[in-house]
Structure 1
Amino acid sequence: MRVTNNMLVMNFMNDYNNNLETMQKDQNMLSTGKRINKPSDDPVAVANSLRIRMDMARNDAYTKNVDDAKSWLDLTDSALGQMGDLIQRTRELAVQGSNGTLTQADMQNIAEEIGQLKSQMIQVGNTQYNGRYIFAGFKTTTQPFTDTSNSYSGDSSAIQFEVGAGGSKIAVNVTGDKVFDVSGGSSQLLDMMDKLKTALTAGDHLSVSNMLYNIDKEMENVLAIRADAGAKSNRIDLTKNRLQSDNYNFTTLLSKNEDADMAQVITNLQMDENVYRASLAAGAKIIQPSLIDFLR
């Protein structure tokens, strides 16, 4: 086989370009910190990275849902706590009003405060989260209670947030028909407040005393609902901890799959640079002789 000067030059240029490309890959890994900068670098690793990133994206979506659910439940707990305080104050006033030694003026003053407590209860029942009424069921844009009626305008539907793989969901809302003990289209809690105010205004101490049982029943109802909301909040906290742990694991896997070993990269770069310089020196000796040099 006849070896020409052109063949030597071409072979040298091919080897030179290969060495330069190898060194460029090392420099890219050094500058980016990633061993994969394009799919052809490692197709299998790229496929694994895509799957991991999809899992991380889903995990981020679940985390956002969990944060939203936690905020909703925290506001619900706060509202139920206010409801409990209002009912407790109502009971205290009812105990005072059942005392037969009070004057009619005293009874009237208590009746006026009962009216104010009812208005505050309705206001709590219309609590909103991010522009949505939290006690209205699916009818989140409809005000569930008004000052002119003891009826409930929401529904009994549960609002569920997806918080995990496999369709894992949790109901975050408490409906007003349960909190305000709605029966027959009317709130038993608000009706009781009206009856209590009427009895106080009339100076009917016995009727006021008889209403203490109903007040206690309404208090127990609110406490039970608040306990259930608290259990959901605890579950949300556990779910968030799990999602944070999953996110850490996904990040670790992605790092192992994509990140370059910087010590190894620096070593390889130094070796490839030495090879590159050696190829340049060898090429200079190969290309230098020509027919002109022999004719001198």
Structure 2
Amino acid sequence: MRVTDGMLVTNFLNNYHNNLEKLQKNQNMLSTGKKISRPSDDPVAVATSLRIRTDMARNDAYTKNADYAKSWLDITDSALNQLGDLLQRTRELAVQGANGTLTQADMQKMANEIEQLKAQMIQVGNTQYNGRYIFAGFKTTTQPFSEDNNSYNGDNGLIEFEVGAGGNKIAVNVPGDKVFDVDLTGTSQLLVMMDNLKSALDSGDHQAVSNLIVDVDKQMENVLAVRAEVGAKSNRIDLIQNRLQDDNYNFTALLSKSEDADLAQVITNLKMDENVYRASLAAGARIMQPSLIDFLR
């Protein structure tokens, strides 16, 4: 095969452009820190990265739901704690009111305090989180309790948040009918008990007050049971949040392995490519030297 001057120049230019392309690729990896700048660089790695990013986006959504659920449960636990304190004070007054040595004036003062305790219980029952009533079931925009009557205006709906793959959901709310012991007629037996206790104190009926202590204890046990349930859910959310945090760390590590360049290796390759590029330039400068014209001179 006869080697022509055109072939030498063409081969030189092809090799020159190949070396320049390798140099540019390593310079791009060094400046961006990524080993993939377009899908054609590594189609398999790009597909893997897309799957990982999809998993990370889904994990972020679960994390936000878990954080929101945790806040809701914390608000609920705080409200139940207040309700428990109010019932504890109610019981103290009932025990005092059952003492037959108290005067009618003393009984009246305690009746007035019971009235205020009931008003505070209703306020706790109307606790809101992010503009939504936490004890109203699905009717989060409807005030569940009012001071006009002892009826419950919410429902028994459970609001669930998805906090994991495979339909992993958790109910974050406790309907008010469960907390305030609402019967089939929609009447809160807890609030009715407060009215009965106030009436017994107003009338100075020590025996009636004494009989109501059992009802107070029943309501306290109910609130404690509900609070224990909320606490168990809160603990579960803590575990879910820890797992989601670990998953996010693992996804980040996998994404880094798939996309991030090994800077030490890139710098080494870049230095080698620079040397090859310089050598190709030097070789190109010597093409066609000497030429046939040089021999004819």
Fold match (TM-score > 0.5): yes
Match of 2:171 in 1: 171
Match of 1:42 in 2: 42
State the Cα distance separating 1:204 from its structure 2 match.
1.0
Match of 1:212 in 2: 213
User: How many residues align structurally?
Assistant: 296
Match of 1:277 in 2: 278
SS in structure 1 at match of 2:275 = helix
- Name the amino acid aligned to 1:146: S
- Name the amino acid aligned to 1:66: A
State the Cα distance separating 1:102 from its structure 2 match.
1.3
Match of 1:198 in 2: 199
- Name the amino acid aligned to 1:83: L
State the Cα distance separating 1:292 from its structure 2 match.
6.2
In structure 1, distance between residues paired with 2:291 and 2:191? 108
Counterpart mapping for 1:60-99 below 5 A: 60-99=60-99
Q: Where does the alignment leave 5 or more consecutive residues of structure 2 unmatched?
A: none
- Name the amino acid aligned to 1:109: K
- Name the amino acid aligned to 1:211: L
- Percent identity between matched residues is 78
SS in structure 1 at match of 2:163 = strand
Q: Runs of 4 or more off by more than 4 Å in structure 1?
A: 287-296
Residues 101-149 of structure 1, C-alpha deviations (whole Å, 9 max, x = no match): 1111111111111000000000000001111100001100110000101
Q: Where does the alignment leave 5 or more consecutive residues of structure 1 unmatched?
A: none
Counterpart mapping for 1:17-166 below 5 A: 17-166=17-166
SS in structure 1 at match of 2:36 = coil
Residues 257-285 of structure 1, C-alpha deviations (whole Å, 9 max, x = no match): 11111111111111110000000000000
In structure 1, distance between residues paired with 2:28 and 2:258? 17
In structure 2, distance between residues paired with 1:137 and 1:108? 36
Match of 2:3 in 1: 3
Of 250-259 and 40-49, deviating more is 250-259
State the Cα distance separating 1:173 from its structure 2 match.
0.5
- Name the amino acid aligned to 2:216: I
Residues 69-89 of structure 1, C-alpha deviations (whole Å, 9 max, x = no match): 000000100000000000000
- Name the amino acid aligned to 1:38: R
State the Cα distance separating 1:10 from its structure 2 match.
2.2
Match of 1:235 in 2: 236
State the Cα distance separating 1:287 from its structure 2 match.
5.2
Two-structure CA RMSD over aligned residues (Å):
1.3
SS in structure 1 at match of 2:144 = coil
TM-score computed with the length of structure 2 as normaliser: 0.96
Match of 1:247 in 2: 248
Match of 1:180 in 2: 180
- Name the amino acid aligned to 1:24: Q
Residues 198-228 of structure 1, C-alpha deviations (whole Å, 9 max, x = no match): 1111111111111000000000000000000
In structure 2, distance between residues paired with 1:198 and 1:260? 78
Residues 21-54 of structure 1, C-alpha deviations (whole Å, 9 max, x = no match): 1001111111111111111111001101111111
TM-score computed with the length of structure 1 as normaliser: 0.97
SS in structure 1 at match of 2:162 = strand
- Name the amino acid aligned to 1:223: L
In structure 1, distance between residues paired with 2:267 and 2:86? 70
State the Cα distance separating 1:7 from its structure 2 match.
2.7
In structure 1, distance between residues paired with 2:266 and 2:2? 41
